[in-house]
Chain A
Amino acid sequence: MSIRSQLLKGILDGCVLAIIEEEEVYGYELSKKLQSEGLEDVSEGTIYPVLLRLQKNKFIVGEMRPSQTGPNRKYYGITEEGKQALEIIRKEWNQIATPISNILGSDER
């Protein structure tokens, strides 16, 4: 596993939750959204363990229903617990994001 994907793994849960909070998505849609945000080298398959983990923690729920194009898809929506967890993740991220990018970020210092 590359350093980049190791770094990502921990925060991917938060990113997936944030996308699902915005609107209900199915697996393929979710990976497209992550990619369009620039996370291109996250292999699409890695979202599935994340989705399972989030369901196990009751942060999201999956529901099978027909999609616009026809076939049944499992759509994921966020729960109250999921929203609370996302709040915590956001707070924690904000606390570490600036110091870390200060430490790692600038060559000029």
Chain B
Amino acid sequence: MTLTVKELIKQNNEKRKLLLPENENYYENLLVYIRSNLFRKERATEEILLEMLDHLLEAQKEGKTAEQVFGKSPQQLAEEIIESLPKESMKEVLEFAFENVLTLFGWFLVAWGFLPLISKEEQTIHIGTAAITALCVAGSLFLIVYFVFVMLKKNAFNRAKNKGSVLWSLGILIGSIWAIVLFINISLEPFGPIVQINEYTGFGLGCFFLLAAYILKKSREAK
């Protein structure tokens, strides 16, 4: 029998609750560090994480600590594991990126198209401005995701007390990226060909994107 990736993650979440606080902290740092590598096969990653958790749980029964089991340098072990994990194929990476872009634009369109849906007003769109907005939104998303992963990796083995300040700096970073995007948007003179769309188009298209992303996600998780 084979478990899906989602089931593996679920089992991991449940079994982690059985760890003693000290071991839980050690293991979770290892987990965050290993998971924050996007380009390794998700299935292999989750399998090895669950295996190591099972191992730790058995060792815990014998009174061993995570440090005794996995050594004093978790970061080095994590690096070795990441290096030995099979790489995700380019196709899968692109599919995953596509799914996330769809989700992003789906929510964006749903939010943007909601007001016209109520007020039943037609919308005027300047293709040029719309394209720049779309690019800004997508670009800022990639930037944010990139920074989140860099920070996760960098701080996985930091002491807990530093984690608050990491969250703060990340928050400020995300805030300023969005502020820049918003500023570009507002200060941009509308340009490009004009298209009229009716009150359902924006909202409807958003829903369609979200549905498509949902189907992609389900098929990915079922693997």
Residues from chain B with a CB closer than 8 A to the CB of A93 are none
Task: Tell me the minimal C-beta distance from B201 to chain A in angstroms.
Answer: 48
Q: Does B58 contact A (CB under 8 A)?
A: yes
Contact A74 B77 (CB under 8 A): no
| A27-B54, A31-B55, A64-B1 known; A52+B48 contact, CB < 8 A | yes
Q: Does A91 contact B (CB under 8 A)?
A: no
Taking CB atoms and an 8 Å cut-off, the chain A residues in 43-77 that contact chain B are 43-46, 48-49, 52-53, 56, 62, 64-65, 71-74
Q: Determine the interface band of chain A, counting residues with CB < 8 A from chain B.
A: 20 to 34
How many contacting A-B pairs (Cβ < 8 A)?
Answer: 58
Bound: A53/B59 CA distance, A: 23
B residues contacting the other copy or chain, number (CB 8 A): 24
Taking CB atoms and an 8 Å cut-off, the chain B residues in 62-109 that contact chain A are 68-71, 76-77, 80-81, 83-86
Residues from chain B with a CB closer than 8 A to the CB of A44 are 55, 59, 69-70
Residue of B nearest to A67 (CB): B54
Q: Does B215 contact A (CB under 8 A)?
A: no
Contact A52 B81 (CB under 8 A): yes
Q: For the A-B complex with A46-B80, A52-B44 known, give 4 more contacts whose Cβ atoms are closer than 8 Å.
A: A27-B55, A31-B55, A45-B52, A62-B47
Identify 22 residue pairs between A and B in the complex whose beta-carbon atoms are under 8 Å apart, listed by A's number.
A1-B76, A27-B52, A27-B55, A28-B55, A28-B59, A43-B71, A44-B55, A45-B70, A46-B80, A48-B51, A48-B77, A49-B77, A49-B81, A49-B83, A52-B44, A52-B84, A56-B86, A62-B47, A64-B1, A64-B2, A64-B47, A71-B54
Binding site for B on A (CB under 8 A): 1, 26-28, 31, 43-46, 48-49, 52-53, 56, 62, 64-65, 71-74
